[in-house]
Structures are given as C-alpha cells and as structure tokens.
Structure 1
Amino acid sequence: MNHVSCALAPRFAHIPLLSCLLLFLIGAALPAQAQLSDSFADGNFIENPAWTGDAASFEVNTALQLQSNGPAVTGTSLQLVTPSVAASGTTWEFYANLKLATSSGNLADVWLLSDQSDLRAASNHGYFVRLGGTPDEVSLFRKDASTSAAYVINGRDQSLNSSTNNLVRVRVTRAADDTWTLETDLTGTGQSYTTEGTATDATYHASNYLGIALTYSSANSRSFYFDDFRVSDQQAPQPLTVTPTAARQLDVQFSEAVIEAQLASNYQLKNSTPAISAARRDASDNTLVHLTLAADLPLGANTLTVQQVADLFGNTLTTPAQVDFVNSGFAVQPGVNQVLITEILADESPVVGLPASEYLEIFNPTTQVISLAGLRLLKLGSSTAAVFPAGASLQPGEYAVVCSSTRGSLFASAGKVFALSNFPSLNNSGDELVLRARDGKTLFSVSYSDTWYKDAVKKEGGWALEMVDTTNPCAGIENWTASTDASGGTPGKANSVQATNGDHIAPVLQKAVAINATTVRLYFAEKLDSVAAANPVLYTLPGGPAVTRAVVASPGFQTVDLELATALQPSQKVTVQVQNATDCVGNAAGPATSATFALPSVAEAGDIVVNEILFNPRTGGVDFVELLNRSGKYLDLQGAQLGNIKADGSVDTETISADTYVVAPGQLLVLTTRPDIVRAQYPTNDPAAFLTMSSLPSFPDDAGQVVVKTAQGLVLDQVAFSAKQHLAVLSDVNGVSLERIRPEGPSTAANFHSAAGSVGYATPGRRNSQFQEDPNGSKIFTLEPEIFTPDGDGQQDFTTLNYALNEPGNLASVTIYDAQGRLVRRLVRNETLATKGFVQWDGLTDQGRKASVGYYLLHIQLLQPKGGTKREYKRTVVVGARL
C-alpha cells in the first residue's frame, strides 16, 4: 500500500477529517517496502524492491526466478537483504527450490525479521526460516545477539529429502498476540499448505530487513531458487502493556511499530482523569509510545483505552482496545526478597548459545517500581561489591541482566542490562551471593552449588541455573535447576523452567549446638523470617538458663544464636524449645519444636573410635568411615582430623568439620564425600548420621591405617585395615565394609569382620551387622556361639572365644583340631593376653580353606606369669551349614 485516500478507502470513512488527512499524508510518505512483494517479473532484483549484499552472486534467470550464482567453493556463504519493517500481525510468503541434498553445509536461511543488513553478524538478531540443515527440514528459528539460533518451531524432519528437487512454498504468520504459525506446501503451488507447528515468542517486535542467507559446497553454487516473496500486514497494532514511568507519564508498548505522528486524543484513561495532554513515539523503539498526563496519575488500578492508532502499513485500530494496569508509585527502596537473583551463569564454557560471559539475572516480583540505586551485589567473604548506579530501577515484574562492566554489549538483546564494576567472579562449583541495601541490610542471598543442575552434562558449563518459582525465593536446590532453553539460559526474561513450586512447609529445627557455655546455636532447615526469629521470647530451655538475646545470622538466616543468662555444665543434656518458628515466606512451625544438646566435654583417647570402614567401594561407589562415640560425653569434632597413615609413616589428613559439630553419647557418624551415593547403595533410615566432607584421605584398596585425631593432635583411635581381613568365602570384596564387632573392644584386626551379605555388605548409620555384646560371667573361657555357619550371610559367621583372667601377662596358645584329632588351625601362638578379651575363628583352616561341617576341639594352653604354672583348657565348637 503506497498511499491512503479517504475517498477510496472505506475502512477510513469513520475517521475524523483531521485524522484522515493526517493518515493521507503519512500514507503518501510511506516507503515502498512497507508491504513487500517481489516476483522478479521485471527481470532484476536491484529495484522495486532493491536487494543488496552479495549481488554479484545472484541473478534472475530466464524463468524469472532469483537464482544463486556464487563461487563454486565449499563453505561459501552468500546473502541478500531488502528493507522490511513488518514485524507483528504479519504474513510472510515465499517460494523456494533447493536442487541439492541439504545438509549442515548446504542450507538456506530466509530472514523474516532482521535487525541488521549483515545477516551473519554475531550481534544480529531476529527470526528466520531454515530450509534444509542436518534434519532436512523447514523450521522457524530465533537468533539473539552473540548467541546461536534457537528453535521457535521445529518442523518435520526429512520434509526436504530430495537430492535434486526440494520444492516448497512457505507461509509464516505472526498474530498480534505473538503466536507464530509455520506452514509449508511441498507442491510449490500454494494450494496445499500443511502446518508445521505453532508457538508463542514475543522477543522482538521490530525489524529493518528481510533477507536470504545461503551456505553451500562447491557443487551447489547455482542450486538455490527463490520467487514470489510477499510480506503483508493486515492487522492493526495492539497495545500490550501500559507502564507508569513517572508521576505524569505512561509508556504504551504495542505489538508492532506504529506511525511516528501520535494524537493524544487516541488515548484515554478511565473516567478521562487525568487527561492525556501529549503522545510521542519513542525515538529509537517505534513500538513504544510515551504519554504525558495533565495531572499526577492516582495510585491503584486503572485502565487505558486506545483507538485510531495506525501501524506503518495503514492498518488502524478501529475497535477500542483496553489495557489494565496498576500504578504502585515510583522507585521505592526495596525490602527483603523484593529484588531476587533468579538466574546464574557461573561457568560460561563451553558456549552452548549464551554469550561467553558470567552473568546474573535479577527480578522485581512486586507491583512497585523498585529503586536499585546504591544496591550492592557481592560474594560472601569478598571485600569489594558491585554497586548499582543512581537512577537504576526495576519495573514491576521486570527482569534485568547483571554482568561485568566490560561485558554489557554481549547482552544487548536481553533487554535491561546493568554492567557493573567489581562484578564478582562466580565460582563454577558454588558461591554465596548477596544483595544488600544501601544501609547494609541483606535483601536476598543465594548459596548455589553445581549439584543444583541435577544434570551431569549441563553442570560442566554453558548452561545457566534458573529459579523455578519466584514466589518461593528462600528455597535452595529444590527450587533451582538447569535451564531447559536451547540457548542454555533465558537472561532478561522469564525462566524456561518457570513453574509453581511453592513452599508450604514450616521450618524444621535440625539441631542445637552449644558453641560455648553461654551460647547455643540453632540450625534450621530453611531461611527464617529474620525479624520474627530475633525475638528471644520464642526460645526456652525448660529447667535450664533463660535466653537473654537471639541473633539471626546474616545472610543465610538459617541459624540463630541464643545468649544465655547463666553457664551450661559440660555433657549435661538440655532441651531447647522454639515457639512458632516462621520461615521467610510466612510458614509457621506451630506451638513448639525442640532439640536436645549439651555443652561438649574434652575428648580423651578411645572416646571416639572407628566403627566401620569401606576402603574398596564397588563400581560407582565411594569410601566412607563410620565413627562411634562410645563415651558417655558430648564431644565436639570441630577441627578434628581423619587420616590415613602411609607406608612411610606420613599421614594424609582431612579436616572432619571446620565448624562446631557435636556428637552425642552412642552416636554414629558417617564421613564421606557423597552421602547420596552411600545411602543409595546401602539404605539407611537416618540421613542425619552422615557428614559430608569435601574430600577424604586416600585409603588404599589393599591395606592402610585409619587414624582419628582431635584438633589438638590427640589420637582418639587408630585402626589398621587390610583386604585380607575379609571373610575368605567372599568371592568379591568390592563394596564390603569391615565392621567393629564389639564397640568396647580393642581397635585390632581381631575386632573387625566383613559386614554381612544379608544387610547389603555395609551398615553406614546403622548398628553393625556383626555387632556383639561384651559378655559378662565368671568363666575363664567361653565360646559364643557354640555352633556357627561361616557362609557370609551375617548370621553366626564366626565363633568367639571370650576370656576373663585374674591378672595380665598370661601367655596363651590356642590350637584347633577336628574330631579325628587332626590339626586344623593354629589360632594363637604364644601371645600375651590382657585380663579380658576375645579371639575369633572364622572357620578357616591354616591353608585358608573352609573347614568341613562337624565337631572341632579348641585346645587352650595358658602359662601364668607368676610361677610359670601351665594350665590347659578344652572347648568344643560345631561348624555347621544352612540347608
């Protein structure tokens, strides 16, 4: 449409004369490319309309079709463009024939919307239809600046599967609501269109060019044919959003570009109050109109009615359109969780489709305009912060990208970008990020980890972490996951993983720990309401000292330190009760939740011992060491060391816990780097029994020594282990732990045995399968059990010869004979015994073979230290077998 006439255009008959004359003048000035049509019937492509670019590599052939005619060189890329501003409410149509076998190196991209004339520029953005490629398909893509293209509509594979004649007509429609429809007609007639798919994408509403981009191998330089390009816009522009930006200004966002000349009379607020005094199209964004009001806009809900606004092609909004909006005021200072970090790209390599730069995304979840001026972004522990500049703000529901000051241009297509000095360097494996107000108050924090990806491939780089539900900002791993967007993330817009994932669970008090005699630290499973949690009235210690003060730790808000009026006594069990603990989204814990604790005592050698060790895990498994507090004291493992004594005497150690970690009497504690793997391979009902260590000492698969030391270097326990200690009948000891038999027994090989097969060959966090009570009684030598079945099933796998002597230093020998009197096993040879202990027989002979089923005699010789008196004892035992 090159002009508008009030006499010849009935659809404008209802427009007031002034508006009609204005449209006439505008229509007369519209450029020729306003609605594009080119069948190349004039025999050229350099005018009506003019195509530019690699013009020397194209021609109009005798069939009056545009044909490629470039260099016969593999890897050649060609392009032609022509001006086109149609962007929404538009239909694009064209004919193509690719007389070649399409592939990743032989394809055509027809750009419907392009920001730049250089279609191949990394910074270009827009939408294009791809013909061919590896899937031999017709599909619609979106290209963002400095990123790889992403599917909008993925067409049928193998629709262009001919090696000589891929004929197709393509029709793409974009409705005013940003619904795209892709259709193809493989007959080339335009009479048999088939829908390839529909999708919604509102990323770009402006265009400057339509174009063709080709890539081919040497044999296909003349194999691309195009015809019948037609771009038509028959839909009027639609107002999408209305945003108050100042006391007397509104911004109206349209679905497509509108004419530059705007009339204030085409816009009206509810009840005509206040009046709109001026309307002006934005200088750089022709889809945006700024309205000036005659008086201040009142707070609250409002409605804007829009009519008689025309697009660049003369389509006029004749039916009034209404848009509801809310004026919540302007640029208020944010409160807690009113500015959120909703997306994190910590590892930008390898590039998937996002810019090669770390970035964060922030979001305003409120209905108010939030002032960011002076807001500080920092990494916990860092001495520097990135500060947002004066005038920075976020509109209600608006997203923005935050990146380094040198990387802002990479995110030009993402909308609002804050490129800040001192942007923190993000650790790939995890960091704690904090947003603080100008007064230092913590507004939001997130302590992310690469485990949040829940995807082994995506955690290796190029993919962003995204928040699932922005109404649940306090949650951690359960509300974050890897982006599912094809480009690797969604900077500046709603997250690809967006879904309802609310928090309706009250905060759980996980544990209480006495930091010192007058301070108790409470650990909660999630972030608390920091104001409510600071009220000391919520906390009581029945029968114990009063709570004088409660301090909630920032920025995590998951721990509360209680200051007590009087000192606690060591290892005296105390209960703390919490009334109505409330999390940061308002869930309350009810009348009371409680935990027990005690002030730790000083640890002595033997108080904490190695109770179980897995040093040769099965495939995909990890090592673990289980400790047991066999004392009657509460003991703190802060700074304690777990080590392996090497063959040369040096010790490879790792810190068990850098923070206070108190173990109660009788408590089991499993140390490992991957509790999830251990629990999956050896089920337990007590996940709290596990303590994650960043790394364990290297425990050899054949033999080594485990040592546990206090922070001051006192050896609590030391255990030598060897693969030879395992039950000989086991054909495979991978994944089989060695368990302590008697908790009170010595840390010697005789007090450890292979875990039973009936419990899965290990019992982390549970009582050992080979556990034995320490027997009492006056007999010098007793056997338990008297019948045993050494088959590895965990039921009576060995027998134990217990002894209780009157004095130390006795020299003993124990020899086993079968029923015929033949020597079977020399179990003990001239060993000095303690006053109390035991010796186990696993049913093996001296040759390492399993003893036959039957009766056996244990001949015990005891030489007393005083006077050299020699005594002999005999005990009978039966080696059995299960039927």
Structure 2
Amino acid sequence: MAQDFREDFSNGLPANAWRGTDTAWIVEDGKLQSHWEQAKSSFYLGTAEVHAADSWQWWMKLGFNPSSQNYVDVFLVADTLNLLSPVVSGYFVRAGNTADEVSLYHVVKGQAPVKVIDGLDGLLNHASNIVQVRVSRHGGHWYLQCGTGAVATWDTVRTAVDSSGGAQGYFGFAVKQSTASFFDKHYFDDVVTGAWPDTTQTPPGTPPDTTQTPPVTPPDTTTPSPPDTTQTPPVTPPDTTTPSPPDTTQTPPVTPPPAHVSGREPLLYDVVIHEILTDPSPPAGLPPYRFIELKNRSGDTIQLQGCVLADAIRRCVVPAYALPPDSLLIICDKDADSSYRRLGATLSVPAFPAFKTADTIVLRNAHDALLHVIAYGKETYHNDAYAKGGHSLEMIDVSTPCSMAENWTASTAAMGGTPGHGNAADGHISPVVPDLLQAFPADSLHLLLSFAATLDSATANGLEHYHFQGGRLKVVKATVRTPLCNEVVLTLQTPLQQDSLYVLTTTGITDCNGLESGVKNEAAIALTAVPDSLDVVFNEVMYDPAPGMPQFIELYNRSNHAVDLSHVFLIMLDKEGNERPGLRLVAKPLLLMGGAYAIVSNDPQALCRQAICGMDGPRLTVHLPALSNEGAAMRLRYDTAGLDAFAYSPEMQFELLTGAKGISLERIDPDKPTQNAGNWHSAAADAGYSTPGRKNSQAMPVPGQASGWSVTPATFSPDLDGMDDLAVIHYVMPLPGFVGNITLFDANGHAVRELVRNSLLGTEGKFTWDGLGDNRRTLPAGIYIIYVMVFDRGGTVKYWKQPLVLAMKLQ
C-alpha cells in the first residue's frame, strides 16, 4: 500500500522530515524557498524517510527563465537521499533545460538520464513561471500533467510505458544554478504523494489515449482491482494568488443519504461555517484541538451525511447527522471528541483538516454543491495577539453568509471561543458592494478581475458586463472563479500590447445579496515589466503619527511601466545596518501603474479614516515594525534587485516646527536623489500634514506654472444655498518651506478673522473662508480685504492682498 505524505511547510521546515543541503533552504510565507547564494552550484533537499507512492503532485514557482545551467529536478523515487550522488537511481521530473519543458526522466546508477515523457517545449519560456505538476503510475504506465500560470491552464495528460523502476524511494528537490540572478528564486509548496489515482478522474487534461499504448498486464493474472477510493485522492495545489480548495471533480462522488434518513439535503447557505479554531496553541481556555462549528440557518432539519469539509490540502466527509433548525454542531478530529462534547453537540471525523495560517475552507453537500466558503488570514482576526493562536474566528452576521472577511473577527470570549454556543461577535454588518478592486493581466490574453464581494455567477459570467474604453479590446469569455466567487477570468479576443494602457469598465454585476457597485467599476490595465533601479521609490514616510493614526510608507512608480507589487519587498535595517527579513508587500499579483502611489501600512483602513487618502492606488496591509522617531534605514527590492534605499531622520523635518508628531516627511522631487536630505520636507498644514496615496503637498510645482495667490469667486454668499458659499484662496509657491498668515479685514481696516496663523504651506494648496468672524458669527455684507504674509527660514517675507465681496440675499 502506498504511503500518504503531505507537506505544506506551514510549520517551517521540520528537521525530522527533510534532509539535504540544510543551509540552502528557508521557509518564507509558508513556502519552501531556495537560499543558496553560490554561483555555479547545485543543492538539494529530500524526505528523511523512504516512501512508497504511485502518485505525486506539487506546486512550484521558478522566478526566472530556465536554461541548461538553471533547472530543477524533482525526484519522485530515488534510491539514495543524496539526490546529487553520481550513482543515484530513480525517476525525476526536470523543470527547465534548453527546451523550457517539464519532462519525466529515468536514471540508473549515474548513467545518462533517459527521457520517459517529453513535455511541451517552451512551457517555461517566461521570465517567471508558476507550475503545478501531477505525476502518477500504474501497471508500468506513467502519466504527467502540468498546470501553468497564475490562472492555472492545464495541458493534456502525457503518457508513456516504463516499468523498470522501483516501487519506493526518497522524494526531493535538486537545484542547479549558474549566476546570482537565479539566487533565491525557487519556491515549492503543497507536496502530496500517495496511492495510485484513477486517471479518468484527473481533470482538466485529456485522458490517456489507450488505443496508442497497449496496457501492460500486471503480474497477477486475476483482474486488477480498482483503486481504493476510500483513500483521499491527490489535491490540486492552490493558486498562488489565493489558496483554493481541492478540485472535487477529481473526487468520486459521495453517496447521498438514504431517503429514510431524517432531514433534507442542504442547499447554498442552508448550513454555514459559523466558527473555526485554526490554531489551538497557545491555548486561551479552549481544548487544544482545532474545530469547525456549523450552523443551520434554514427552517428545516438538515441531513449532513456526505457533506465535505475541505481546505487546500485535506478533506473530510461528514457521517449521517440530522441538524435541527437554528442549531449548532461542532466538528473535530477523533482525538478531540471528548473534549468538545462537553461544550455542545459534537461530531468527530477522520482526516480533519490541519489548517494553515492563511487558508480557504469549503463546505459542500453530498452532490458537490457549494454550501459555504471562508478565506482567512492573520488580518481576519483584527487582533495581532489573538492571531498568534488560541482564539477562534467567529462569524459576525449570520444573515449575510456570503459576505467575506469583513464578516469575521477574533472571538472575544474569555476562553478564546464559543463552540456550541452563540458567538461573542454576533452582530450586524453592512454588506460590502462588489467594487472592482483591480484587473491584473495573467498573460496577454487573460485578465484576472478581483472584486470586493462574492459575486452572483449568473451575471458575472455574462460578456455584456465588460467593456473597454474606445472598444480597443473584446472579451470572448468570462469565468467566475470558484469557490470564493470574487474573481473573474476574462479571455480576450486579441492580446494586450506592451506599454499600452487599457481601461475596463464593468456594468450590471451584482453580488450574492443583489447589490451592484455604481461607484468603483473601472480599472486601468497594462502588461507588467521588470522595473529598473529607481523606477519605484520611497515617496513619503509617517514615522511618528498622531494618536489613532497608523504609521505608513508611501511608494511612487516614477516609470511609464506597470509593476507587479507581489515581487516587491521592503527591508528594514537595524541600528547596526544589518538587514531584517524582507517584508513582501502583497502575496497576490497587484498592479502599480506608472505615475501611481501605493500606501504601505499596518492598517490602511484605519489610516484612511484619519487622513485624506488617494482613491486610485493600492492600499497594502503589511505588518511594519515600529518606525523609530530617531530615524531608520530601509530598502526596496524587486525580487533580489535593488529599487531604492532611504534613511530618514527627524532633522529632515522643517526646522521652524515646534514638533513633528503627526507630520509626515514628503519627497519633493522624485527625479532627484532619494538620500538627499534637501529633497525631503514636512507635509503642509492645509494638506492635513500628510498625503497618503496622493500627490505630495511639497511636490515641485509644474514647470512653467506661475506662483502667487488668487481667490474665487470674487463675490461669495455664505447663505448655504449651495452656490458660492465659500471663498477659496488658492496659492502656488515657488519652493517648499514657506510659512503663511492670512487675516481678513473689513472696509474700515479692522481685523475680523485670523484665518491662518503660522501655517506651514505646501508648494500648492488652498484655504477657505466661510464668511464668519473670529466670534464665529456671520459678518455683514460688504467689501473685505484678504491680507497674506508669507516668510521662509531664510528671512524672505512676501505680502499679497486682494479685495473680496461678501454678499447676502435681500430679505
């Protein structure tokens, strides 16, 4: 019997499970990553124990275009743990080589490897490659299938006959690399090996053509038994953009419950995932075991027999259980049964999922129809301490089950959760409308659209809902990605062109609550390019925010190319100048268009409640370390290539300020050196002392723009009729660093309103006057004088005055 082996690296790199060139590997973001910075070298990592298997699958990313000197050999069965041994024997899949292919090889005692299955030439002929691989064997027949791209595109199943190899061995990865440009660019995840799967159940490839390859008769003359379908079939590794549940089309259908069993079969949202404990350690009071709590929202008794709970790696089948209306059921592992039975109705199952730090959990009925799904990560807890373990995630509003992460939060119960009882988080939320968050080019013919809510598939699949500005492109296919249904893959009739900008508009797309976005339904699209040094730069830093405002860093794309932010890392340096571990800005592909800004903050939502944020650029949730008020150094990288470096200090703040708390540092000119202290300035007062996601208040004025002051309209009437209620005083300064005072005088020369007092000005801005005096009462109609005095730290003083008419309606 083949042995099941699964590894998702969620617990790091277990020393008792893997051996090899130990220092050549790290685990980053739950993925195994190469970390061997030696040119013209090879290194490996293999399972510590021999495994018997007839099927293998894994996910990998090669952040480069492979060659004859840069490739990966994934050994399925090797007779020695040393995968680089000159006398190793076994089977391996080579990803790369001169043909940029994924092919199966057989090697015997150091002889030249023999190609068993020839993969598709050019499959990996890209600057970066995401690959999912499935291999299986049965009766001397081998099967190979590859899925590539952020939106997985599967080729056909390729077959061959070779029965000369052994039945067991070591599994592992062997890497050959040439130069520094290939360092740290090999990623692996979601390894699953086990029993032979029935290839007729393997989508989406074409089943092998058995008319061309005669089946090999097994040694046993009796009719071969079918595969043991009680074992868990291999699971498709998740898409790197969003962890996905297993493709249940591979799984033989579960027999539905007999008609005489009480309760009807559940339909969509009849039964929902109500509470989950993904990490029981360190315990806060709950039993030290994972659990899922289900709730019956319907008015009927529901029969759960045959329902399936699954994450990206493992699935479990629920036995017969009649769940009454408005009731709860705890589902857990066999070992946890007695512990949770004391807290409420409990059902234990074998193969209960071992959840990852970030995961997607899916509930389906016995006929594979979706019932409910939740995708979560550390940010879903809204509490960094609780996200470390011991606290469950609870649904807030059971009346909006199709709401996404906004409907979940960490339990505030004293014991860390409420299994078997009403949720501590029980409350009401306003459903999020399906705003179009972004459109990302997976390749020149496919766009991946991301929405803020779960979509109604019936409308989102319609081609009539997608339009390109000027009719430049045409959509020929729209596919909603399940199970989350918040992403749509568009197939284009003609390919996108490099360095061209496209604008997509969506109309008539509704979410599962019937809501439609009438505001944010437009996205700019461009093919991405690898940025050069200083294409993306530091543009603003808030290191000492006011109470209630998170710190933030703003980036600016000063190039004309779109950049994929999932390749960008922020690296902080300690006081000794040593680099701390890099912070990936975002796990999923995300566009930063040329000329656009990106906000990087622990909590962009809270930041934009306190500050006026730009509307168009990305807002990235990144767990930044505390930015020191004494100054700190940071670097920006695209993969391993440097983009920008900046060391800020409080001395860069405007010297006439009495304090810098709540005032950000802004870059004046993106084309001048980053580390030039004179290229940074304190943000202007009239901009709110920060400009996250929008043009800096201290940015250099547009060349040729005249400096000075003006007021519009020349006559205003503050009667709140919506017409000219405010006098707007505009200014353009030649340089940053001016401080302004604005006083309003009446026709007799009496000061009636001190509008601005020693306010730090930007290079461009405005102030408004509402017609009120210093006593906050409306002044009488008449002529008033605006008197402006500005000065800089060098002693330069300038004056400006302008008459203004305050008018009132006749009674």
Partner of 1:334: 266
**1:704-735 Cα distance to aligned partner (Å, 9 max, x none):** 4443332361x333334322222223343344
SS of equivalent to 2:559: coil
Instruction: Answer yes or no: is the 8 Å Cα contact 1:465–1:480 preserved in 2.
Output: yes
Partner of 2:110: none
SS of equivalent to 2:608: helix
* Correspondence for 1:581 among 483, 488, 509: 509
Distance 1:414 1:547, change over 3 A: same
2:327 maps to 1:392: no
2:703 maps to 1:771: no
Residue pairs, 1:441-456, within 5 angstroms = 442-448=370-376
SS of equivalent to 1:631: coil
Residue pairs, 1:88-167, within 5 angstroms = none
Alpha-carbon offset, residue 354 of structure 1: 5.3
Highest Rg: 1 or 2? 1
2:545 maps to 1:613: no
Distance 1:880 1:723, change over 3 A: farther
**1:577-611 Cα distance to aligned partner (Å, 9 max, x none):** 33431322344558994433222344333332221
Alpha-carbon offset, residue 328 of structure 1: 12
* Correspondence for 2:636 among 708, 711, 714: 708
SS of equivalent to 1:750: helix
Partner of 2:334: 405
Partner of 1:729: 656
SS of equivalent to 1:638: helix
**1:647-685 Cα distance to aligned partner (Å, 9 max, x none):** 7665443222332211223211111222244335x5114
SS of equivalent to 1:447: strand
Distance 1:360 1:792, change over 3 A: farther
**For 1:350 and 1:654, how far apart are their aligned partners in 2?**
25
2:760 maps to 1:794: yes
Instruction: Answer yes or no: is the 8 Å Cα contact 2:614–2:692 preserved in 1.
Output: no
Instruction: Answer yes or no: is the 8 Å Cα contact 1:639–1:659 preserved in 2.
Output: no
Distance 1:331 1:699, change over 3 A: same
**For 1:433 and 1:541, how far apart are their aligned partners in 2?**
35
Partner of 1:466: 394
Instruction: Answer yes or no: is the 8 Å Cα contact 1:328–1:367 preserved in 2.
Output: no
Instruction: Answer yes or no: is the 8 Å Cα contact 2:378–2:384 preserved in 1.
Output: no
Distance 1:481 1:750, change over 3 A: closer
Partner of 2:297: 365
Distance 1:651 1:879, change over 3 A: farther
**For 2:417 and 2:443, how far apart are their aligned partners in 1?**
46
Partner of 2:598: 669
Partner of 2:447: 520
Percent of matched pairs sharing the same residue: 29
2:531 maps to 1:599: no
2:626 maps to 1:660: no
Alpha-carbon offset, residue 559 of structure 1: 0.8
SS of equivalent to 2:335: coil
Alpha-carbon offset, residue 514 of structure 1: 1.9
SS of equivalent to 1:407: helix
Letter in 2 for 1:370: I
Instruction: Answer yes or no: is the 8 Å Cα contact 2:396–2:427 preserved in 1.
Output: yes
Instruction: Answer yes or no: is the 8 Å Cα contact 2:613–2:692 preserved in 1.
Output: no
| Alignment length (residue pairs) | 473
SS of equivalent to 1:432: strand
**1:381-433 Cα distance to aligned partner (Å, 9 max, x none):** 3x2223212x2343444321112211222333555311122323456x76432
2:646 maps to 1:719: yes
2:480 maps to 1:552: yes
2:575 maps to 1:632: no
* Correspondence for 2:309 among 377, 390, 398: 377
Partner of 2:25: none
**For 1:461 and 1:469, how far apart are their aligned partners in 2?**
23
Distance 1:683 1:354, change over 3 A: same
* Correspondence for 2:570 among 642, 645, 651: 642
**For 1:722 and 1:591, how far apart are their aligned partners in 2?**
40
Distance 1:683 1:537, change over 3 A: same
**For 2:451 and 2:468, how far apart are their aligned partners in 1?**
17
Instruction: Answer yes or no: is the 8 Å Cα contact 1:770–1:794 preserved in 2.
Output: no
**For 2:284 and 2:472, how far apart are their aligned partners in 1?**
59
* Correspondence for 1:422 among 337, 351, 364: 351
**For 1:621 and 1:495, how far apart are their aligned partners in 2?**
30
Letter in 2 for 1:630: R
Letter in 1 for 2:298: T
Partner of 2:805: none
Residue pairs, 1:256-335, within 5 angstroms = 330-335=262-267
**For 1:749 and 1:650, how far apart are their aligned partners in 2?**
22
**For 1:742 and 1:707, how far apart are their aligned partners in 2?**
19
Residue pairs, 1:210-225, within 5 angstroms = none
**1:808-830 Cα distance to aligned partner (Å, 9 max, x none):** xxxxxxxxxxxxxxxxxxxxxxx
**For 2:426 and 2:551, how far apart are their aligned partners in 1?**
38
Partner of 1:433: 361
* Correspondence for 1:509 among 436, 440, 444: 436
**For 2:463 and 2:382, how far apart are their aligned partners in 1?**
39
More displaced stretch, 494-503 vs 361-370? 494-503
Partner of 1:74: none
**1:857-877 Cα distance to aligned partner (Å, 9 max, x none):** xxxxxxxxxxxxxxxxxxxx5
Distance 1:593 1:759, change over 3 A: closer
Instruction: Answer yes or no: is the 8 Å Cα contact 1:338–1:366 preserved in 2.
Output: yes
Instruction: Answer yes or no: is the 8 Å Cα contact 1:329–1:368 preserved in 2.
Output: no
Instruction: Answer yes or no: is the 8 Å Cα contact 1:643–1:697 preserved in 2.
Output: no
Distance 1:377 1:614, change over 3 A: same
SS of equivalent to 2:566: coil
TM-score, normalised relative to structure 1? 0.47
Residue pairs, 1:782-861, within 5 angstroms = 784=734, 788-789=738-739, 793-795=759-761, 853=795
Letter in 1 for 2:689: Y
Q: Which sections of structure 2, spanning at least 5 residues, go unmatched?
A: 1-258, 707-732, 741-756, 765-790, 802-811
SS of equivalent to 1:342: strand
**For 1:786 and 1:658, how far apart are their aligned partners in 2?**
37
Instruction: Answer yes or no: is the 8 Å Cα contact 1:374–1:437 preserved in 2.
Output: yes
SS of equivalent to 1:684: coil
Alpha-carbon offset, residue 489 of structure 1: 5.0
Letter in 2 for 1:663: L
RMSD of aligned alpha carbons: 4.2
Distance 1:509 1:610, change over 3 A: same
**1:684-719 Cα distance to aligned partner (Å, 9 max, x none):** 143664533433477554344443332361x33333
Alpha-carbon offset, residue 531 of structure 1: 4.9
Q: Which sections of structure 1, spanning at least 5 residues, go unmatched?
A: 1-326, 799-841, 845-850, 854-876
Alpha-carbon offset, residue 473 of structure 1: 0.5
Distance 1:363 1:737, change over 3 A: same
SS of equivalent to 1:793: strand
**For 1:647 and 1:457, how far apart are their aligned partners in 2?**
26
**For 1:623 and 1:731, how far apart are their aligned partners in 2?**
20
Residue pairs, 1:195-210, within 5 angstroms = none
SS of equivalent to 1:510: strand
Distance 1:595 1:601, change over 3 A: same
Distance 1:344 1:526, change over 3 A: same
